[in-house]
Chain A
């Protein structure tokens, strides 16, 4: 073994550097695969984002690129003129992207104007400038999207989630306030109508108020009062009911969960509640304190509903409402009220917060928590620099998924737009929701855009994306989702690394992007790497992906490395120490666990498939092909079965008694008016013979003759001595069944 190799192995195993070898990387490196993308302003990609202002639409975010694409599709005609417009709007988009990267924080229409002004200032005053002005003006006029343009930075997760939550709560508030307002108006109307029935409302003074000022002198209101006094309605609301309505109205008017329109004077006394918190204790305290007021509102709504429908039954309902309290609130009730949003930053959260998060999840509280992770390779809060344990906060989302009742989303800032459906579902979910979002600290990765670092965390499996939706039916397959990760079935993502070697030969090489590559983006991880000069590279150096796949016995004399580029774009290999290797392995294990939950390489499924395949082989070899014939023989018998179903038998022949085909009676009153003791209507208001002895055979025959639908059958006479019987029997003949 050469001295150089021995030194590198020593660094790899101990993480300590020798005197002359295994140099500290020192300078800022960039993972080789990320090098082509360091200047994102030149690329069209899914940032910046526009936080859409339209709360009625379920979409809360859109990409600037998407908005521009749709705009051009709508306004750019085919041909040269359209192509010119397209090119100019794309120039504008690029300028907007540059402005955002420089820190502009403006609504899209203002950013557009700023970029437009900047482009026009650069252009010469000629025909092209006129066309530019005209085309950009046309496009700006057609721009429908409204909202703030934001870049991928450390502030993004909080801004995006808070915005989505605000939009969602605005939709909820719109629905609930319409309902509350309707109830308030209807209760007020009931009281007002009752007030109008009082003698006081008919005094001359009150009557005068109800007439326009131009006619105030035209009437003698006192005389009018005397006249109306006689006709005052007496059916007032019972005092108990009036008190009940007033109490319910007072609760609805003074509740602090929703603000009514400013036009609704008199509603809401104290300041409305706030539901956005930056600490868990504050949110939990507020939630518990507001449970009773919440129950009061639900109770008032129920009473108001019943009163408005005239369905309140004091005998049955009073006892229920007396006992009604916070303990009776259901998830459906809670879903009428705003949810609580807590924004937590990793740097400010403590172990106590973890316990509180568990409380929220265990108690199924409708609290949404946005947990911002700034260090995807963070350290354990209990053991400090315990790399083997990995980041505790990083695993928190996975941990909180375990009870099975919390909506959980883990992702990175770079993928926020792609996850907007999951974010919306989490906000709509009745129970707790945890959004764990990684956004890098800019100072940790100088020279690399935050978007690139966040996307790298996702691609390297350091901070994989997953969501768990407990409301989805059908088990884990439908609840757990890792599909937003690139190539979810693979351990690592392989991309093509294109470089030139020392002989200026172009080389293309499939290279895995691993957690170690991601670690290079952070200065703090520099101690785990040692730069190797090109002339020091040894044949025993293997890429980290290959190294991880080697059996332990074969990896002893191998040194893993990652490929990076320096600021001059020179390709360099960094040797990775064992501590980092352990961390990479840990990331891969966690990724495997997520894969298994997401149905990729599921050990149960793979074992079952292997068993099934073995069974098929066995059946093919051993089973006799006699089954089809056996089935064929049984078929005719089965086919004959439907023929055996008895046809609908006609009704049994009637006796000699008189009878009415009641189902065919058209309720024409003919028979009942002829003899209402003999004929009557049943519960369906159709005729039948109520008492055959209440009339004569003649009555029956005449009823039959006059029945328009001929459904009365007189039968045989019961009294042989009835006069004119022979004639009646003859007349009855056409109506006998």
Chain B
């Protein structure tokens, strides 16, 4: 709620933000790393929405992806391995006015941070989560991650990984209180931008798995997909994403999918021979935890002091003559 005067004055002093305003340090990712594409796309989302850089927080865990906050000219929090989500939830709870983004990797999210991921989905706090899935631990130099394809040879699986790859989409589509799930390839910038943008606009927990190239340790993982556009199944809908004509000619494998249909989303993820990309599920009606738990009263310093005093008084040992 703001007055007309405030709105008018804010408008008169409005600063047009360019991509440079969202740029932080020079990225140190490997040349050809898909993280560069993700960085460029999310910066474009910020520019598109003209977000004030001081109102943005990028939170990350540990891994290549988690260097993200350094490269954004915004607030950031480089957290502990697997703990990006609880940190982001704390920030959102205390400062719901901030735009919270989370960058996490396949190891960070699907291994050590899995429990946080499950419950963050259930809490449905308004944030955009980018899960950079390069199918490998890259920062620590080539160890198999939960999403590594079966048979991946790495420093920890020299004879090839034994278990089939974990599918983050199938898992997420089974979580309670889900509100937004999408999958995006980092090598189709327009699609990546659209999906990230839709994720940002969705009010709730937007989980976006990004298929990310790692030229160093998984150089051949997505190469066949890049060379063969038909290996992708682009999910389009008037309420989802739509490909421009130029891309439609390249990515002919398209399917009309209503993002409100979770049954079809599960079916696509579980049975499709192609890799589905687009918005799988979106439900704007799921309440956000920060809204549900918003205190009825404003926590003024005096109110907090009064509450603390009341709590501490419970442990007061009164003199004997006072009952």
Contact = CB atoms under 8 A, between A and B. Distances in A.
Contacts of A299: 5
Contacts of A664: 188-190, 247
A336 interface: yes
B130 to A, nearest CB: 15
Given A332-B3, A664-B189, A684 B31 contact: no
Interface string A309-325: 11111001100100010
Given A317-B13, A664-B189, A673 B31 contact: yes
A668 B32 contact: yes
A182 B300 CA distance: 8
A628 B226 CA distance: 58
Nearest to A665: B189
Interface string B227-267: 10000000000000000111101000000000000000000
Nearest to A673: B31
B9 A709 contact: no
Contact of B10 (A311, A648, A668, A673): A311
Contact of B44 (A302, A306, A648, A685): A685
A310 B54 CA distance: 9
Contact of B3 (A301, A317, A669): A301
B300 A181 contact: yes
Nearest to A332: B4
Interface SS majority for chain B: helix
Given A263-B306, A302-B9, A673-B31, A666 B300 contact: no
Contacts of B298: 178, 181-182, 185
Contact of B37 (A265, A320, A666, A683): A666
Contacts, number: 123
Nearest to B302: A263
A708 B185 CA distance: 13
A686 interface: yes
Interface residues of B, number: 46
Contacts of A178: 298
Contacts of A651: 246
Interface string B86-123: 00000000000000000000000000000000000000
B34 A302 contact: no
Contacts of B39: 667
A179 B6 CA distance: 14
Given A333-B5, A651-B246, A708 B19 contact: no
Contact of B36 (A179, A336, A666): A666
A311 B9 CA distance: 9
Nearest to A331: B4
Given A668-B32, A670-B31, A686 B13 contact: no
Q: Indicate the member of A332, A336, A663, A685 with the most B CB atoms within 10 Å.
A: A685
B186 A333 contact: no
A679 to B, nearest CB: 13
B316 interface: no
Interface residues on A, range: 35 or more
Contacts of A648: 245
A633 interface: no
A475 interface: no
A307 to B, nearest CB: 11
A666 B13 contact: no
B1 interface: yes
A298 B36 contact: no
B3 A685 contact: no
B303 interface: yes
A328 interface: yes
B9 A306 contact: yes
B268 interface: no
A685 B40 contact: yes
A261 interface: yes
A49 B223 CA distance: 76
Contacts of A313: 12-13
A709 B226 contact: yes
Interface in B169-218: 186-190, 213, 215
A708 B187 contact: yes
Contacts of B6: 301-302, 305-306
A655 interface: no
B71 to A, nearest CB: 12
Nearest to B227: A710
A710 B226 contact: yes
B1 A179 contact: yes
B301 interface: yes
Nearest to A685: B40
Contacts of A706: 32
A668 B226 contact: no
B5 A302 contact: yes
Contact of B5 (A328, A650, A668): A328
A282 B224 CA distance: 83
Contact of A264 (B3, B31, B247, B302): B302
Given A178-B298, A301-B3, A301-B6, A668 B37 contact: yes
Contacts of A320: 5, 9
B43 interface: yes
B2 interface: yes
A324 B227 CA distance: 64
A356 B197 CA distance: 56
B275 interface: no
Contacts of A306: 6, 9-10, 13
A460 B184 CA distance: 72
Nearest to A175: B1
B40 A265 contact: no
10 contacts: A178-B298, A185-B298, A305-B6, A306-B9, A324-B5, A663-B190, A663-B247, A684-B44, A706-B32, A708-B213
Given A663-B247, A684-B40, 5 more contacts: A305-B6, A311-B9, A313-B13, A664-B189, A683-B19
Interface of A: 175, 178-179, 181-182, 185, 261, 263-265, 298-299, 301-302, 305-306, 309-313, 316-317, 320, 324, 328, 330, 332-333, 336, 648, 650-651, 663-670, 673, 683-686, 706, 708-710
Q: Which 7 residue pairs spanning A and B have beta carbons closest together?
A: A666-B37, A667-B40, A263-B302, A313-B13, A685-B40, A302-B5, A305-B6
